Structure 1
Amino acid sequence: MSKLNYQKKWVQHLLVPATLAVFSQCSFAHTRLESPTVIQGVKVHNRLNVGHGCSIDAIGTKGGSTFAQSAIFPNAVSYTPIIGVDSSATGSTWNSATYTTQPASTFYSPLAGIGTLIREDGAWPITLQKTDAVGNNDGFSAGGKAYDQTVSASIQTSVATAAITIPATSCARSVTFMLAVADICDITVPSAIATDKEVLYWSPIPNFAGVPGQPFGSAKGNSTSTNIAGGIPVGPAYSNYDGYTDAAHTIAGDGWASPATLKVYRNITGTPATVANGVYTVAQPANPLPPGCTGHGGLGDDVYVFPSAAQINAEMPIFSGVNQKGTLYWK
């Protein structure tokens, strides 16, 4: 499709929004992966589900029609992600992690291509793979039709999540990738002035010990927010796409520090081959923890991988071509 026809298709659908609903196999309160937890070494036909539209009033009632979406998985080849390791004796959450400067290869591989768009007959008439400068798949943009989400429905985009391997020498028992997602209800409003009424962001905010520049927050903060332990602090933005409820960008939005996630578990005991309904599943070898791992009382560490602000700022905009080239449709 030529750039001109591609652009016309966006505009045509914008001027004549559809009042359609695409139902998921299950219900999602927010934008989340349909299979948010997977075992290492297994490629999964996954889906990113938009659980509801943008805000429609001052108190954050959801119901706006979603017109497009931009989604990014962390890339550790062309960018340097923020990585945290939680080894605490009790519980496990990303905001109890500690920043590490160890390279991503210490904890997982591949280092990019974590999420690859699957083009099929889905909800969106326009879909495009996002890539970095050397061709690694980092996510996707999709859209071209406004979906009414005032009924209980979610919009799905199919994506293949990679077969992640945790190195045998690593003490990680799990690796969680934090996605950066923008659900766009009004593509004519740029991110610089967008509120939750036009764009609803599900933003990864690495507010944990040792991260350079943290605590990230907003000009006014919000001590009562439950998005993060202790509320949203007063502080600088993490990226240009954190999300806000006001056009002046002083109050953090509904999806601030509430990203979609992909959690990969270490296959400590191995998985035998299976045959079910004519489908053969290949056996997966055991990957036990190496000696000397002390995290969580010897059970292993939980690792959290956030896309860098540089990656989010570069790849969140929607272009007509891969590698952020061609006609700019939204930024």
Structure 2
Amino acid sequence: MKKNKIRTLTLALAAAMLAGVGQNALAHTRLEVPTIAEGVRQTNNVVISHGCGEGKMTIGTSVVFPDGVDSTITVGGQPHSGPLTDFVSNWGNTNQAILNRAVFDFMDEKTGPNGNVSGFWAGGGQGMSNHLAAYVPFRASAVNIEPTSCANSVKFFVSIVDICEITGIDALRSGSGEAGGPVNLWTHNNLGTPYDRVSTEDDGPASLTITRDLTKNPLPGSCGAGVDVEVKPSAAQINRDMPIKFNGQQVWPQ
């Protein structure tokens, strides 16, 4: 009997430890559906998995997708000097916010100089308590991989800042992804912007990967096994699109 109790306790402790590991692994702010087949429209969510720390509410979030205009593109890890249209034929206005006041009272899209949606923000209202998680919805329209390309997949890195306090831009550097700062930065660590995540690894951004439909859109015979493409936003785009503007006035950062 004693051995059975010890075994039960050991299994319970192991399960608790595994659960803790799983929760920590999921603590980053990420997309609910990180991978979508080309040509498929998908309702999706930004999932804010942890809050700002004890006694703090998450009062808003700001989301930026690479616009593909001056983005950094790599193919199989190597720099690509050509345009994004070498791999994706219709990127640019494919992600659009869905109004939902379950967590935040206000929400709006961000647009670049060409009028395409480059991100969105949500904020105001009660916000999100530290011990809860929150979903911020958007619609990912069907993206088409260029048939003549060798792309098996195209991964877009999505930069997100969860806001804990309204501060000036200089205060943002005290944020990382850990609770307690004025923001949680789920961004690149090496773009050279005030919004860069404080981290030795570039593991901050969420991602949205478009996979090739090899049945409807097979690889050209010259491609062999194909390649994987990655797209990061430029520093100029992050500096332009990350701030939140409400009724024409910038409200964050102040």
| Residue 220 of structure 2, aligned match among 284, 290, 293 | 290
User: What is aligned with 1:310?
Assistant: 236
What's the offset of the Cα at 1:149?
Answer: 2.2
TM-score (norm 2): 0.81
User: What's the C-alpha RMSD, in Å, of the aligned pairs?
Assistant: 2.1
| Residue 156 of structure 2, aligned match among 160, 163, 177 | 177
Structure with greater helix percent: 2
What's the offset of the Cα at 1:41?
Answer: 0.5
Structure with greater strand percent: 2
The answer on 1:193 being equivalent to 2:139 is no
Cα distance between partner residues in 1 of 2:64 and 2:102? 19
**Is the contact made by 1:191 and 1:199 (CA closer than 8 Å) also made in structure 2?**
no
User: What is aligned with 1:112?
Assistant: 92
**Is the contact made by 1:202 and 1:256 (CA closer than 8 Å) also made in structure 2?**
no
Output the amino acid matched with 2:80.
Answer: T
The answer on 1:31 being equivalent to 2:29 is yes
User: What is aligned with 2:225?
Assistant: 299
- The one-character-per-residue Cα deviations of 1:126-158 (angstroms, maximum 9, x if unpaired) are 1011111232111111111332122xx311111
Cα distance between partner residues in 2 of 1:186 and 1:106? 41
What's the offset of the Cα at 1:313?
Answer: 0.4
**Is the contact made by 1:83 and 1:304 (CA closer than 8 Å) also made in structure 2?**
yes
Cα distance between partner residues in 1 of 2:89 and 2:52? 35
- The one-character-per-residue Cα deviations of 1:293-320 (angstroms, maximum 9, x if unpaired) are 1xxxx32111001111111000101111
What's the offset of the Cα at 1:34?
Answer: 0.5
Cα distance between partner residues in 1 of 2:102 and 2:157? 24
| Residue 71 of structure 2, aligned match among 72, 81, 84 | 81
The answer on 1:262 being equivalent to 2:221 is no
Cα distance between partner residues in 2 of 1:98 and 1:37? 22
Cα distance between partner residues in 1 of 2:102 and 2:213? 32
**Is the contact made by 1:174 and 1:301 (CA closer than 8 Å) also made in structure 2?**
yes
Cα distance between partner residues in 1 of 2:219 and 2:112? 33
User: What is aligned with 2:127?
Assistant: 146
User: What is aligned with 2:193?
Assistant: 239
Structure-to-structure mapping, 1:26-175, within 5 angstroms: 28-54=26-52, 64-76=56-68, 79-86=69-76, 97-144=77-124, 145-150=126-131, 153-175=132-154
Q: List alignment gaps of at least 5 residues for structure 1.
A: 1-26, 57-62, 87-96, 206-215, 217-236, 245-251, 270-285
**Is the contact made by 2:66 and 2:233 (CA closer than 8 Å) also made in structure 1?**
yes
CA distance change for structure 1 residues 200 and 290 in 2, over 3 Å: closer, same or farther?
same
Runs of 4 or more above 3 Å deviation = none
**Is the contact made by 2:51 and 2:133 (CA closer than 8 Å) also made in structure 1?**
no
Identical-residue share of aligned pairs (%)? 35
Output the amino acid matched with 2:153.
Answer: S
Output the amino acid matched with 2:138.
Answer: V
